[in-house]
Amino acid sequence: MSTDRRPTRREERRAQTVQEIKALAMEQISSGGPDAVSLSGIVREMSMSPAAVYRYFENRDALLADLVVDAYNDFADSLAAIAAVSDSEADRLIGVLNGARTWALAHPNSYRLIFQTNIGSGQHLAPERTVPAASRSMAVIVDALGAARAGSSSTPGPESSPVERAAPSALDEEARTWGDRAGWSSSPPQILQLALLSWTRLHGIISLELGGHLAATGVDPTILYAAEVATIQSAIAAGS
């Protein structure tokens, strides 16, 4: 016997109102960044009474936290969907890494909210909710890197890893601490290090692209991003 329950009309109306509030907040972010989010402005737009909005969100920070969690979860779901349909470990890695840029270009305001403001960092705003949501997408990348490494038949020779050559030993400890904090302590230290470097480099390219900085230099971001993905593939093949 199915235990699924159809939402009541009241529940449906509440869900619709919450989504409308969030949509208006994202429009405010689009025009003026997270600082532009205003519950009073949303109230005016929706013709609600000033007190009514607080039945849905306790305050502005609660609304922003919801937007951050939604964005992180949508990002993670997008990457997980790519990983689930990949034909091989190598395809899975390429698909996931390229999927990060694809999602960012399709959702620039959500990307800016979670990756280009301290609101998305989880340090100040509802960390008990935002940090686990943020870890989901990174877990997909770490898993893809680990699977690609396990599926690689290459045998590294002396000093064959570009990551090992370039990174000081201090980075090993930083990556290990990062992995322990995020719950990836079982991942090989080389994978954690490569994941950390990949995350910072790829997001650096995406941020420069969204900010228009690459266009100003005449550099094609698609080519630059592909080159970085190829570098990550090379590091995997070299046994890092």
Residue spans of the domains in the chain: they are: 1-57, 61-237
How confident is the model at residue 157, as a pLDDT? 42
Contact 144, 191 (CB under 8 A): no
CATH number listed for the domain at residues 61-237? 1.10.357.10
- 61, 196, 76, 198: which is closest to 133 by C-alpha? 76
**Rounded-to-integer distance, Cα 109 and Cα 39, Å:** 18
C-alpha span between 59 and 32 (Å, rounded): 19
CB 97 within 8 A of CB 32: no
* Longest Cα separation, the chain: 69
Q: What is the pLDDT of residue 43?
A: 92
Instruction: Give yes or no for a contact between 130 and 73, defined as CB atoms under 8 angstroms apart.
Output: no
Q: Within its chain, how far is the Cα of 9 from the centroid? A: 34
Check if the beta carbon of residue 37 is closer than 8 Å to that of residue 63: yes
Q: What is the pLDDT of residue 3?
A: 61
- The reply to whether the predicted model has a pTM over 0.75 is yes
pLDDT score for 163 = 47
Query: What pLDDT, on a 0 to 100 scale, did the predictor assign at position 55?
Result: 92
| pLDDT of amino acid 65 | 95
CB 92, CB 147: distance < 8 Å: yes
Number of H helices, E strands in the chain: 11, 0
Secondary structure (DSSP) of 109-177: HHHHHHHSSGGGGSSSS-HHHHHHHHHHHHHHHHHHHHHHHHH------TT--HHHHHS-HHHHHHHHH
- pLDDT tens for the 240 residues of the chain, in order: 556 778 898 889 999 999 999 999 999 999 888 889 999 999 999 988 888 999 999 999 999 999 999 999 999 999 999 999 999 999 999 999 999 999 999 999 999 999 998 888 888 889 999 999 999 999 999 999 999 998 875 444 444 444 444 445 788 888 888 888 777 778 888 899 999 999 999 999 999 999 999 999 999 999 999 999 999 999 998 875
